Amino acid sequence: MRELIRKLTETYGPSGAEEQIRAVIRAEVKPLAGELRVDPLGSLVAHKQGDGKRIMLAAHMDEIGVMVTYVDEKGFARFTNIGGVRTLSCVGGRVAFANGTLGVINVEQKRDDADKIPQMSQLYIDVGAKGRADCPVQVGDTAVFVRSFAAQGTRLIAKAMDDRIGCAILIETLRRLKRTPYDVYFVFTVQEEVGLRGARTSAYGIDPDMAIAVDITATGDTPESMHMAVEMGKGPAIKVQDRGMIAHVEVRELLTRRAKEAKIPYQLEVLELGSTDAAAMQLVRAGVPAGCISIPCRHFHSPSEMVDEGDVENCVKLLLEVLQKA
């Protein structure tokens, strides 16, 4: 799966501009799905037809990024965030725009509060322009952080692991899934980072009997980290609760039961900050039993997010156990 993960994480695709990453995923799943379509908001739906209940699996293909708000007379671009961008992760970083333009983010040198964490209004993007007329980007253009994929033992490091790792898991699950008693929809959603939007509209159209999101989660295993019973390398995390939802008890019990039966290592996750597509899918129409499997991820919402290869593989195994058994 490493080459697939590399391809997905290195592809451009901020929230609201997912065309490039959607094309990459579409090429991967086209030979595997009976039906392939893009819904009106832009999410990609790969349908593996069956006679049983409808199961929706969702992983969001968008990533955090920045959007130009102003270009000054010297050609320096001011910007705002797309999703949960931290200023500490920005300074000195590189970003890439859809047209291939590269920029360097830096902070104003003369600041009255230079000893404090800078505000986003104090940052700018330098694309090497000589002036506003020479600047290759304009207001409304979006960019993502630039960082190549790397593997160090079983640790995989890249930008956009959130949630390209979930997309890779869905693709690999679809690739290995030979038979299923269910009608399964593999959905690669848009605009999760700005409000779980794609999952909401996709779930409304599919009207599933059960929905499972695959996303990343924080860990409690780094220095002075939050108190959280999730560690990288200890197995995928089955969500109990996060800021946006309480996982449906029957979905959570199904996931834990299948993991125990197959002797797949797993953890239980209670996340105090953030949520996933499951929170949106849970509330469409008359309500959908929804849950989430999370990949423990260090340094999330930074240009160097880290996951463990074993957790990824065990997540694929768990999804297959769920989908292959009645």
Q: What is the pLDDT of residue 189?
A: 98
Per-residue pLDDT of the chain (326 residues; tens, 9 = 90+): 999 999 999 999 999 999 999 999 999 999 999 899 999 999 999 999 888 899 999 999 999 999 999 999 999 999 999 999 999 999 999 999 999 999 999 999 888 887 899 999 999 999 999 999 999 999 999 999 999 999 999 999 999 999 999 999 999 999 999 999 999 999 999 999 999 999 999 999 999 999 999 999 999 999 998 899 999 999 999 999 999 999 999 999 999 999 999 999 999 999 999 999 999 999 999 999 999 999 999 999 999 999 999 999 999 999 999 999 98
The pair phi, psi for residue 58, each rounded to 5°, is -130, 135
Amino acid present at 298:
R
Residue 99 burial (10 A CB sphere; 0-12, 13-18, 19+): exposed
- DSSP bridge pairs for 239: 269
Q: How many separate domains does the chain show?
A: 2
Residues 270 and 286 in one domain: yes
Cβ atoms within 10 Å, residue 64: 24
**pLDDT tens track for 60-85:** 999 999 999 999 999 999 999 999 99
Catalytic residue among 18, 28, 192, 305: 192
- HSE-CB for 53 with a 13 A CA cutoff: 14
> DSSP code of 117?
P
DSSP letter string over 177-244? Answer: ----SSEEEEEEES--TTTSHHHHHHHHHH--SEEEEEEEE--S-STT----S--TTS-PEEEEE-SS
Residues 171 and 240 in one domain: yes
* Residue 265 maps to a domain: yes
Token pair listed for 273:
């900050």
**Strand, coil or helix: what is 265?**
coil
Residues 81 and 168 in one domain: no
Q: Is the dihedral of CA 260, 264, 267, 269 positive or negative?
A: negative
* Residue 152 maps to a domain: no
Residues 171 and 251 in one domain: yes
Residues 202 and 299 in one domain: yes
Helices then strands (H, E): number in the chain?
7, 17
Residues 72 and 54 in one domain: no
Q: What is the pLDDT of residue 111?
A: 84
Instruction: Output the average pLDDT for the chain.
Output: 96
DSSP letter string over 269-325? Answer: EE-SS---HHHHHTTSTT---EEEEEEE-BTTTSSSEEEEHHHHHHHHHHHHHHHH-
* Residue 154 maps to a domain: no
Q: What is the pLDDT of residue 114?
A: 79
Residues 100 and 124 in one domain: yes
Sequence-distant (≥ 6) Cβ neighbours of residue 106 within 8 angstroms: 91, 92, 123, 124, 126
- DSSP bridge pairs for 104: 94, 126
Residues 55 and 73 in one domain: no
192 is annotated as an active-site residue: yes
Residues 43 and 84 in one domain: no
- DSSP bridge pairs for 67: 80, 142
Q: Using a cut of 0.75, tell me whether the model's pTM lies above it.
A: yes
Q: Which domain holds residue 117?
A: 68-145
Token pair listed for 278:
């499951």
Distance in angstroms (rounded) separating the CA atoms of residues 167 and 8: 8
Amino acid present at 276:
T
- DSSP bridge pairs for 70: 78
Distance in angstroms (rounded) separating the CA atoms of residues 191 and 61: 8
**pLDDT tens track for 253-287:** 999 999 999 999 999 999 999 999 999 999 999 99
Residue 1 burial (10 A CB sphere; 0-12, 13-18, 19+): middle
Q: What is the pLDDT of residue 110?
A: 85
Residues 59 and 75 in one domain: no
Distance in angstroms (rounded) separating the CA atoms of residues 257 and 138: 52
